[in-house]
């Protein structure tokens, strides 16, 4: 079986398990709802304009709910030593990383898409025709968070603090991508101005590609003693 099939097969296994239990998806969506409520009372009720604070609030929500999904990436493999079972397969270790990352991208995107809809509806945001672009920006951000989060989830699992260390590890490294995503989304919601958008998307894609490459190359050293 070649590497690409193995990646897809591993990702499919993870997604199938998640869809069966739906634990992570439920946690992520409920968490997003709670954050929306918080932001409403913290900002909207106090007079702030939703169009101004929504991009920031949205991306804070995406980022922290992604942590919930990503922490499961390797904590689920702890039972029965399943990670070692995966590492025994005759593939490069980067394949295991890529499969896990792909699965996280899928589950976090599903949860975040629901979040995006909730945000638009509950904050009455003026987005209609540029929703697709906002979704693409969100997706690219999630890819970056997943690239970093998958690698660091494997790291965290080997520390004393386990997955509680994950947000601490991930946030400084994804800060540029999240800030960029926030600003791009703000532009899309606020002015709907699409000039310069291709350049922004390319910048985000570059971040994703570079961090995924780092993940593929260094994952072996995280998991092999």
Partner 1 sequence: MEAAVTTGAAGPSKCFGHEIWLAGIAVLLAAAAGLVYAPTAVDPGTGQMLDFQRIMYFHVPSAWTAFLAFFVTFVASVRMLSKRSMWWDSLAVASAEIGVLFCTLALVTGSIWGKAAWGVWWVWDARLSTTLILWLIYAVYLVLRMSTPLPERSARFGAVYAIAGFTVVPLAFASIHLWRTAHPPAIVMGGQGLAPEMYWTLAFCTGAFTLLYVSFLRARFRLEQLRRSQQ
Partner 2 sequence: MTTAPAYDAAGAPAPSPEPAIDVRQVSKNFGRLKALDDVSLQVNAGQCLVLFGPNGAGKTTLMSILSTLALPTSGTAFICGFDIRHQSRDVRRAIGVISHESFLYDSMTAVENLRFFARMYGAPADRPRLERSLDRVGLLHRADSPAGTMSRGMKQRLALARCLLHEPRVVLLDEPYSGLDLDGAELLTCQIRDLCAGGRAVLVTTHQLSAGLSVADELAILARGKLRFRTGARGITEAEFQHEYAKAVAEPPE
Nearer to partner 1 by Cβ, of 29 and 94: the residue is: 94
Nearest distance in Å: CB 2, partner 2: 9
In angstroms, the CA 218 to CA 90 distance is 18
9 contributes a contact to partner 2 by CB under 8 A? yes
Near partner 2 in 91-110, by CB under 8 A = 91-92
Q: Which is nearer to partner 1, 24 or 166 (CB)?
A: 166
6 binding partner 2? (CB under 8 A): yes
Select from partner 2, partner 1, none the partner in contact with residue 203, using the beta carbon and a kind-dependent cut-off of 5 to 8 Å.
partner 1
Pick from 15, 48, 87, 203: which binds partner 2 (CB under 8 A)?
Answer: 87
Q: How far apart are CA 62 and CA 100, in angstroms?
A: 19
* 1 binding partner 2? (CB under 8 A): yes
Distance of CA 101 to the CA centre of its chain: 9
- Going from the C-alpha of 24 to that of each of 10, 75, 116, 146, 201, the distances in angstroms are 18, 12, 17, 14, 28
For the bound state, the minimum distance from the C-beta of residue 72 to partner 1, rounded and expressed in Å, comes to: 20
Contact 82, 209 (CB under 8 A): no
Contact between residue 207 and residue 177 where contact means Cβ atoms under 8 Å apart: yes
Binding residues for partner 1 (CB under 8 A): 148, 151-152, 155, 158-161, 165, 168-169, 171-173, 175-177, 179-180, 183, 196, 199, 203, 206-207, 210-211, 214-215, 218, 221-222, 225
Instruction: Quickly list H helices, 22-130.
Output: 23-39, 50-75, 82-87, 93-122
Distance CA 4, CA 119 (A): 36
Distance CA 28, CA 62 (A): 9
* Minimum CB distance to partner 2, residue 1 (Å): 4
**Minimum CB distance to partner 2 smaller for 195 or for 221:** 221
Residue 88 interacting with partner 2 (CB under 8 A): yes
Query: In this structure, what DSSP letter does residue 191 have?
Result: T
**Residue 87 interacting entry, from partner 2, partner 1, none, C-beta within 5 to 8 Å by type:** partner 2
CB 165 within 8 A of CB 149: no
In this structure, the number of other CB atoms found within 10 A of the CB of residue 160 comes to 7
Does position 222 interact with partner 2 (CB under 8 A)? The reply is: no
> Among partner 2, partner 1, none, what binds residue 192 when CB lies within 5 to 8 Å by partner kind?
none
């Amino acid at each position: 079986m070649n590497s690409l099939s193995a990646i897809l097969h591993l990702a499919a296994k993870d997604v199938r398990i998640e869809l069966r239990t739906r634990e992570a998806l439920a946690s992520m969506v409920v968490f997003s709802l709670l954050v929306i409520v918080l932001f409403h009372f913290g900002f909207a009720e106090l007079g702030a304009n939703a169009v101004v604070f929504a991009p920031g609030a949205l991306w804070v929500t995406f980022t922290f709910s992604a942590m919930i999904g990503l922490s499961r990436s390797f904590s689920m493999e702890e039972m029965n030593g399943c990670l070692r079972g995966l590492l025994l397969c005759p593939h490069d270790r980067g394949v295991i990383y890529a499969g896990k990352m792909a699965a996280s991208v899928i589950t976090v995107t599903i949860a975040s898409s629901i979040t995006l809809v909730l945000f638009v509806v509950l904050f009455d945001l003026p987005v209609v025709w540029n929703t697709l672009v906002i979704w693409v920006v969100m997706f690219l951000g999630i890819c970056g968070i997943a690239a970093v989060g998958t690698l660091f989830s494997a790291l965290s699992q080997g520390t004393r603090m386990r997955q509680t260390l994950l947000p601490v590890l991930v946030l400084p490294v994804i800060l540029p991508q999240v800030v960029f995503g926030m600003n791009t989304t703000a532009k899309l919601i606020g002015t709907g101005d699409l000039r310069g958008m291709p350049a922004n998307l390319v910048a985000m894609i570059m971040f994703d590609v570079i961090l995924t490459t780092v993940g593929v190359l260094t994952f072996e050293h995280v998991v092999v003693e």
